[in-house]
């Protein structure tokens, strides 16, 4: 795709609104808009001044007024894309926006691809790839904390960390290479190797910290995945409704009511939480129900927090036992002993004895009892699991996480090889680690990967 052509797109969401923006970027941006814009005060000597706002009208080929607008002309390089950029602020009717865009395209601009403005900002060196990707995260953030974290990365937080880690790897690599080239200058092999090892271990720990912080970051970004699971008819959908404070799911005395996953979104103690109600898990021959149960199990597998609901008015059964075996070691789990308004057949003590270390809350959801306590327990668990924002929280995309894991793998191999193998091998691993981290900042990245990343953006960003 030639980068020198001039691109244009509607940059605000479709729909009626106060203001809509058509953005144009490229060498011909000023000229193209100049052909269809008539400034209110005429075109004086220095028109248009960069980074000034002009009031006037957009007119079509026949000279008919399309809209009253404010236009900002911004000269390269101090623009989003680093190119000459013009933004036409018009009234946000989709027809108006399209008419203006069409006029600009007719004059010679090309419709921008998704994310192309941000891609140009990256290709022109204004931001690195981690910053570009964070723009997307910022747009998609589901919580205040998520916005703050993404904004940090847009400013370059992650980029700086990665650049500094890459520099450290390069310093150590240089040391290895020198000793390979001039072995006679080396006073003592083992001293150098010990030093090298300790340096690399420091870098490894920093990378591990980043990965650990990413779990937290993702939770804030996407919402903490919370699955409500249990046997049929225990009150899972009732619990979803109680937590959402709305009648979202169908509740019925017939076991097997919920067939598909159902989702809602709440904030608890500052945590954004995505709650998923699932089909009751049991043995069944009904293929539709079985498909629902498979989905329940997948949701349980992917969840960061599991709410396992039990019916206190029935005895603990093999099916309850089977469900508790779905718990993964790294998941936060809370048992909800429901229907405590009915004569008890399973007690709190029994559940505690069966599942030592897992907190249990009694509820009678039909009477709205125990919900507040349940919410408090959820917050406590999340505090334990995620801690409150701030320290060591990073926002990483899966791609960035994979690159860090790859770099870690190479560094760990390098440390291993220092003991037994010639230094050449360690040098190769260090080089690979350095390259892997370069994928995050975009220093070592293919066009194909760029296409994949920017295709997730909307047109106009």
Binding site for ligand GTP (CB under 6 A): 230, 232-238, 251-253, 255-258, 279-280, 338-339, 341-342, 364-366
- Provide the minimum distance between the beta carbon of 140 and ligand GTP in the complex, in angstroms, as a whole number: 30
At which residue do the structure tokens 């009892």 appear?
369
* CA-to-CA dists, residue 188 to 110, 177, 201, angstroms: 63, 15, 20
Q: How far apart are CA 177 and CA 99, in angstroms?
A: 61
- Provide the minimum distance between the beta carbon of 226 and Mg ion in the complex, in angstroms, as a whole number: 15
Report what 341 binds from Mg ion, ligand GTP, none; CB cut-off 5-8 Å by kind.
Answer: ligand GTP
Report what 362 binds from Mg ion, ligand GTP, none; CB cut-off 5-8 Å by kind.
Answer: none
Nearer to ligand GTP, 90 or 279 (CB): 279
Nearer to ligand GTP, 75 or 248 (CB): 248
Looking only at residues 249 through 268 of this chain, which bind Mg ion when binding is defined by CB under 5 A? 257-258
- Provide the minimum distance between the beta carbon of 232 and ligand GTP in the complex, in angstroms, as a whole number: 4
Nearer to ligand GTP, 59 or 364 (CB): 364
Question: What values do phi and psi take at 63, rounded to 5?
Answer: 85, 10
Report what 25 binds from ligand GTP, Mg ion, none; CB cut-off 5-8 Å by kind.
Answer: none
- Provide the minimum distance between the beta carbon of 258 and ligand GTP in the complex, in angstroms, as a whole number: 3
Nearer to Mg ion, 178 or 246 (CB): 246
Report what 234 binds from Mg ion, ligand GTP, none; CB cut-off 5-8 Å by kind.
Answer: ligand GTP
- Provide the minimum distance between the beta carbon of 234 and Mg ion in the complex, in angstroms, as a whole number: 9
Q: Which residue is nearest to ligand GTP (CB)?
A: 280
Q: How far apart are CA 49 and CA 120, in angstroms?
A: 23
Q: How far apart are CA 5 and CA 75, in angstroms?
A: 16
- Provide the minimum distance between the beta carbon of 367 and ligand GTP in the complex, in angstroms, as a whole number: 7
Nearer to ligand GTP, 103 or 323 (CB): 323
One residue of 11, 131, 237, 400 binding Mg ion per CB under 5 A? 237
Binding site for Mg ion (CB under 5 A): 236-237, 257-258
């Amino acid at each position: 795709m030639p980068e020198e052509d001039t691109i244009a797109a509607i940059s605000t969401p479709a729909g009626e609104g106060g203001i809509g923006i058509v953005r144009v970027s490229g060498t011909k941006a000023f000229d193209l808009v100049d052909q269809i814009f008539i400034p209110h005060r005429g075109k004086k000597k220095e028109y248009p001044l960069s980074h000034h706002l002009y009031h006037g009208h957009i007119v079509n080929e026949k000279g008919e007024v399309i809209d009253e607008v404010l236009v900002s002309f911004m000269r390269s390089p101090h623009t989003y894309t680093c190119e000459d950029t013009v933004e036409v602020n018009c009234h946000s009717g989709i027809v108006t926006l399209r008419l203006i865009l069409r006029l600009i395209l007719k004059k010679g601009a090309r419709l921008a691809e998704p994310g192309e403005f941000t891609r140009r900002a990256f290709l022109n060196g204004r931001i690195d790839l981690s910053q570009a990707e964070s723009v997307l995260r910022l747009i998609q953030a589901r919580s205040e904390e998520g916005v703050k974290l993404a904004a940090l990365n847009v400013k370059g937080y992650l980029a700086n960390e990665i650049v500094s880690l890459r520099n450290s790897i390069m310093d150590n690599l240089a040391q290895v290479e020198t000793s390979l080239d001039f072995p006679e200058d080396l006073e003592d092999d083992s001293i150098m190797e010990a030093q090298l090892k300790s340096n690399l271990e420091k870098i490894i720990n920093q990378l591990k910290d980043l990965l650990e912080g990413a779990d937290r970051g993702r939770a804030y970004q996407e919402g903490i995945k919370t699955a409500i699971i249990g046997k049929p008819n225990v009150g899972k959908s009732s619990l979803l409704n109680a937590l959402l404070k709305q009648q979202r799911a169908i509740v019925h005395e017939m076991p097997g009511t919920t067939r598909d996953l159902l989702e809602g979104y709440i904030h608890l103690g500052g945590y954004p939480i995505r709650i998923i109600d699932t089909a009751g898990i049991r043995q069944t021959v009904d293929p539709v129900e079985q498909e629902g149960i498979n989905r329940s199990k997948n949701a349980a597998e992917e969840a960061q927090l599991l709410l396992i609901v039990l019916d206190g008015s029935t005895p603990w059964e093999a099916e309850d036992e089977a469900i508790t075996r779905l718990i993964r070691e790294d998941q936060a789990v809370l048992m909800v002993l429901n229907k405590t308004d009915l004569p008890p057949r399973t007690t709190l003590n029994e559940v505690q004895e069966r599942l030592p270390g897992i907190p249990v809350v009694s509820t009678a959801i039909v009477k709205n009892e125990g919900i507040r306590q349940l919410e408090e327990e959820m917050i406590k668990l999340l505090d334990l699991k995620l801690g409150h924002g701030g320290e060591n929280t990073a926002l990483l995309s899966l791609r960035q996480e994979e690159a860090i894991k790859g770099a870690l793998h190479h560094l760990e191999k390098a440390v291993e090889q220092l003991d037994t193998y010639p230094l050449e091998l360690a040098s190769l691993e260090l080089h690979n680690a350095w390259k892997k981290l370069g994928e995050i900042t975009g220093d070592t990245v293919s066009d194909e990967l760029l296409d994949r990343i920017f295709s997730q953006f909307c047109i106009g960003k």
